[in-house]
């Protein structure tokens, strides 16, 4: 059994994907091309955002967003400690200082209460508080109504790191529309993945959109060889866009639904015995991961071993929160304020989750979990 079965997805979509790839190869457009334009338009429309720029990966998308918002050396940027490294790395790459905020213990996302406290304290210390990067962890959008209030009251911008959140919703509003700038990743294992690296940046702001486009192409001005700022080379290539156009259709028409059906089945079967993920009222997850909170690291080890014995893969996302990463040892995080992140990192376990996980496989996983404890 695969944790995320990309081969099965390919078998299912093979005819369309092969056709789309052959079309690009035959035409000989490898950079830019109609597929990139069409895909960005489709992504913008799907997310309900005015502008979408496809880029090389989700980490670049964050870097471009930070540059566009004018982050400078020494600026404080608030972000969850319980996330993937890239969220914080992009901040540090700009010379800014990541301020790690604890998680909500049931949604895994950044806690609005802890965020407010961190902003107030940082300002009191006389540091330049500039913005917040939220993460839609495991596919669930962060608590944007609360976070937006905090951002507005302190004059901060929001970057939504939707690398795992693409496809999620709050009410009718889609993930990747909640930030002043929002980002996503098309890394193969993300909810919407390509066959290599890819990412996108979203914004409603015309000025930001222009700046993002310039920064992504070597800081171009009126044309490619007029360079008005130092930028990057960050683009999604034509083959990946062609693949993504096919996958986006399947994602919208079937996959997102299947993910939610599988998650509902897991929860119905497991919630008596385990702490299963909760989706607050009005929220919709894209289920990048289905994550249990176990009693202890010890119990987690036993369950992981029992699953493995039956050929069932499971993963720990994430074993080390950002405030404990060696790379961030100079950030002077207050470990006492990050206890939920520490606790989660000891207890979480993610189960196989992908739209092509068959019923008998789901049953095997559920059986093994119920018998294993």
Ligand X SMILES: *Cc1c(COP(=O)(O)O)cnc(C)c1O
Total number of residues that touch ligand X (CB under 6 A)? 15
Q: Does residue 161 bind ligand X (CB under 6 A)?
A: yes
Angle at 257 between CA 252 and CA 260, to 5 degrees: 135
Output the smallest distance, CB 137 to ligand X, in A: 7
Q: Does residue 163 bind ligand X (CB under 6 A)?
A: yes
CA separation, residue 148 to residues 10, 65, 75, 121, 179 (Å): 39, 18, 20, 18, 9
Which residue stretch of 33-41, 52-60, 266-274, 344-352 sits at the interface with ligand X (rule: CB under 6 A)? 52-60
Which residue stretch of 5-13, 57-65, 112-120, 231-239 sits at the interface with ligand X (rule: CB under 6 A)? 57-65
Q: How many beta carbons lie within 10 A of that of residue 295, not counting itself?
A: 12
Q: Does residue 86 bind ligand X (CB under 6 A)?
A: yes
Q: Does residue 317 bind ligand X (CB under 6 A)?
A: no
Closest CB to ligand X among residues 167, 199: 199
Which residue stretch of 22-30, 84-92, 145-153, 234-242 sits at the interface with ligand X (rule: CB under 6 A)? 84-92
78, 138, 166, 187: residue in contact with ligand X (rule CB under 6 A):
187
Which helix or strand (DSSP H or E) is residue 158 part of?
A: strand 157-161
Q: Does residue 83 bind ligand X (CB under 6 A)?
A: yes
Closest CB to ligand X among residues 9, 87: 87
Q: Does residue 109 bind ligand X (CB under 6 A)?
A: no
Query: Which of 230, 207, 208 is closest to 217 using CA atoms?
Result: 230
Q: Which two tokens stand for residue 130?
A: 């500039």
Q: CB under 8 Å to 56, separation ≥6 — which residues? A: 197, 198, 199, 233, 234, 235, 236
Output the smallest distance, CB 163 to ligand X, in A: 3
46, 78, 82, 84: residue in contact with ligand X (rule CB under 6 A):
84
Q: Which two tokens stand for residue 6?
A: 């990309």
Q: Does residue 100 bind ligand X (CB under 6 A)?
A: no
59, 182, 203, 345: residue in contact with ligand X (rule CB under 6 A):
59
* CA 333/CA 321 separation, integer angstroms: 11
Output the smallest distance, CB 315 to ligand X, in A: 13
Tell me if the bond preceding 329 is cis, omega within 30° of 0: no
Q: Pattern 231-270, binding to ligand X, x per CB under 6 A?
A: ----------------------------------------
β-strands 199-203, 181-185 pairing: antiparallel
Closest CB to ligand X among residues 90, 242: 90
Do 285 and 174 form a contact (C-beta atoms < 8 A)? Answer: no
Which residue stretch of 37-45, 157-165, 167-175, 232-240 sits at the interface with ligand X (rule: CB under 6 A)? 157-165
Output the smallest distance, CB 212 to ligand X, in A: 16
Q: Does residue 135 bind ligand X (CB under 6 A)?
A: yes
Output the smallest distance, CB 259 to ligand X, in A: 16
Residue with tokens 């010379």: 95
Residue of minimal Cβ distance to ligand X: 58
Which residue stretch of 53-61, 95-103, 244-252, 331-339 sits at the interface with ligand X (rule: CB under 6 A)? 53-61
Cα R_g (the chain), whole angstroms: 21
For 28-84, the DSSP string reads T--SS-HHHHHHHHHHHHHHT-SEEEEES-HHHHHHHHHHHTT--TT-EEEEESSS-
β-strands 129-135, 76-80 pairing: parallel
Q: Is 234 exposed, middle or buried (0-12, 13-18, 19+ CB in 10 A)?
A: buried
Sequence length of the chain is 373
Q: Does residue 134 bind ligand X (CB under 6 A)?
A: no
β-strands 51-55, 76-80 pairing: unpaired
Q: Does residue 176 bind ligand X (CB under 6 A)?
A: no
CA 137 from centroid of its chain's CA atoms: 6
Closest CB to ligand X among residues 236, 270: 236
Q: Which residues bind ligand X (CB under 6 A)?
A: 57-59, 83-84, 86-87, 135, 161, 163-164, 185, 187, 197, 199
């Amino acid at each position: 059994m695969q944790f995320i079965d990309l081969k099965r997805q390919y078998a299912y979509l093979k005819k369309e994907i092969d056709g789309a790839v052959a079309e690009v190869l035959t035409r000989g457009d490898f950079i830019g091309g109609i597929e990139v334009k069409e895909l960005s338009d489709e992504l913008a429309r799907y997310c309900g955002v005015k502008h979408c720029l496809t880029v090389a990966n989700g980490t670049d998308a964050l870097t471009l967003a930070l540059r566009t918002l004018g982050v400078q050396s020494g600026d404080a940027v608030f972000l969850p400690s319980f996330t993937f490294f890239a969220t914080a790395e992009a901040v540090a790459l700009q010379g800014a200082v990541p301020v790690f905020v604890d998680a909500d213990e049931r949604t895994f996302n950044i806690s609005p209460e802890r965020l407010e406290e961190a902003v107030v304290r940082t300002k009191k210390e006389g540091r330049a508080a500039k913005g917040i990067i939220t993460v839609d962890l495991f596919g669930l959008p962060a608590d944007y109504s609360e976070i937006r209030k905090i951002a507005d009251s302190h004059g901060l911008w929001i970057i939504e790191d939707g690398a795992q959140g693409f496809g999620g919703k709050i009410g009718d509003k889609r993930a990747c529309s909640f930030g002043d700038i929002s980002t996503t990743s098309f890394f193969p294992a993300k909810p919407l993945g390509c066959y290599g690296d890819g990412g996108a940046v979203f914004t409603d702001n015309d000025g930001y959109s222009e700046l993002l486009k310039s920064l992504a192409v070597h800081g171009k001005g009126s044309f490619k060889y007029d360079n008005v700022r130092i930028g990057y080379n960050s683009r999604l290539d034509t083959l990946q866009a062609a693949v993504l156009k096919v996958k986006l259709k399947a994602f919208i028409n079937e996959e997102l639904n299947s993910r939610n059906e599988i998650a509902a089945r897991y929860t119905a079967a497991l919630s008596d015995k385990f702490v299963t993920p909760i989706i607050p009222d009005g929220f919709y997850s894209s289920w990048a991961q289905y994550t249990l909170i176990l009693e202890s690291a010890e119990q987690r080890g036993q369950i992981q071993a029992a699953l493995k014995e039956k050929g069932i893969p499971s993963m720990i996302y994430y074993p080390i929160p950002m405030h404990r990463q060696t790379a961030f040892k100079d950030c002077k995080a207050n470990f006492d304020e990050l206890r939920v992140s520490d606790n989660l990192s000891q207890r979480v376990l993610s189960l196989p989750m992908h739209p092509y996980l068959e019923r008998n496989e789901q049953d095997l996983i559920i059986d093994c979990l119920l018998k294993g404890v």
